[in-house]
């Protein structure tokens, strides 16, 4: 029996050494401060990139929204066999797209563009599609709608005389 007590005492001492004061558990304050410093540096570098990315994204979203509304208005003009006009207006800090047919009935619900978009310049004002789906009015050249934001970026939506609509990430499309 004295041998069994010796084994138990040795086992107990082994466990104490393993879990004793020499082993560390958790993180030290210095390690935590280093991690916090690294995270803050990375976030300081990332925030400006995020804001410029978000501005470009909102401008791209507005451009594709205008493109899809113009394309839908063109298809509506052909399917209704009537003239459909799309007007882009900026009022009270919002840019709104409205599409109406010849009798003044709204073809689509008015669409408000994202808040980052501050200016839309249709040249000339509004786009009109004939029952054949071609653009009527606005001259023989391409009609350009320039969308801009508060960061100085500009995208364009181009409507050709035959009625096709596309957008490009520049103030002018070719």
Compute the distance between CA of residue 76 and CA of residue 107 in angstroms, rounded to an integer.
7
Per-residue confidence (pLDDT) for residue 15, from 0 to 100:
66
Which domains are present in the chain? 34-168 (3.55.40.10)
Q: What is the pLDDT along the chain (174 residues), one digit of tens a residue?
A: 455 666 777 767 666 665 555 556 678 889 999 999 999 998 888 888 888 888 888 888 888 888 888 898 899 888 888 888 888 776 655 556 677 777 777 777 777 777 777 777 776 677 888 889 898 876 778 888 888 888 888 888 888 989 999 988 877 776
Burial class (CB in 10 A: 0-12, 13-18, 19+), 149: buried
Handedness of CA 76, 78, 82, 83 (dihedral sign): positive
**pTM score, whole prediction:** 0.69
SS3 for 90-126 is EECCEEEEEEEECCCCECCCCEECCCCEEEEEEECCC
Compute the distance between CA of residue 143 and CA of residue 6 in angstroms, rounded to an integer.
97
């Amino acid at each position: 029996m004295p041998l069994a007590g010796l084994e138990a005492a040795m086992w107990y001492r082994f466990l104490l050494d393993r879990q004793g004061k020499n082993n560390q558990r958790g993180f030290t304050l210095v390690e935590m401060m280093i991690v916090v410093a690294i995270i803050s540096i990375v976030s300081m570098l990332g925030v400006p990139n995020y804001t410029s990315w978000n501005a470009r994204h909102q401008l791209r979203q507005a451009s594709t929204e205008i493109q899809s509304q113009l394309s839908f208005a063109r298809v509506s003009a052909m399917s209704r066999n009537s003239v459909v006009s799309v007007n882009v207006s900026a009022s009270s800090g919002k840019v709104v797209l409205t599409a109406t047919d010849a009798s003044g009935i709204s073809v689509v619900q008015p669409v408000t563009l994202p808040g980052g978009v501050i200016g839309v310049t249709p040249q000339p004002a509004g786009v009109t599609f004939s029952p054949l789906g071609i653009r009527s009015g606005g001259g023989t050249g391409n009609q350009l709608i320039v969308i801009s934001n508060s960061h100085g970026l500009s995208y364009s939506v181009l409507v050709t005389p035959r009625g096709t609509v596309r957008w490009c990430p520049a103030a002018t499309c070719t």
